[in-house]
Amino acid sequence: MYLASDKRYDTMPYHRLGTSGLKLPAVSLGLWHNFGNTGRFDNMQQMCFTAFDNGITHFDLANNYGPPEGTAEINFGRILKEDLGAYRDELIISTKSGYWMWPGPYGEWGSRKQLLSSLDQSLKRMGLEYVDIFYHHRPDPDTPLEETMGALATAVQSGKALYVGLSNYDGPRLEQAAAILADLRVPFVINQNRYSIFDRTIEQNGVKDTAAKLGKGIIAFSPLAQGMLTDRYLKGIPADSRIRTDTRFLKESALTEERLEQIRQLNDLAAQRGQTLAQMALSWILRDGIVTSVLAGASRPEQVLDNIKAAENTSFTADELALIDKISL
The secondary structure of 246-269, three-state, reads CCCCCCHHHCCHHHHHHHHHHHHH
Residue range 43-62, pLDDT digits in tens? 999 999 999 999 999 999 99
Q: Quick check: 240 pLDDT over 80?
A: no
Q: Quick check: 228 pLDDT over 80?
A: yes
Q: Quick check: 251 pLDDT over 70?
A: yes
* pTM for the structure as a whole: 0.96
- For the chain, the average pLDDT equals 95
Provide mean pLDDT across the span 177-183: 98
pLDDT score recorded for residue 248: 57
Q: Which domains does the chain have, with CATH numbers?
A: 14-231+277-313 (3.20.20.100)
176 phi, psi to nearest 5 deg: -65, -45
Q: Quick check: 250 pLDDT over 80?
A: no
Which residues, including other chains, have CB under 8 Å from residue 298's CB and lie 6 or more apart?
29, 34, 47, 304, 307
Q: Of the candidates 132, 127, 44, 147, which has an alpha carbon nearest to the alpha carbon of residue 94?
A: 132
Cβ atoms 199, 173 nearer than 8 A: no
The bridge status of strand 188-194 relative to strand 217-221 is parallel
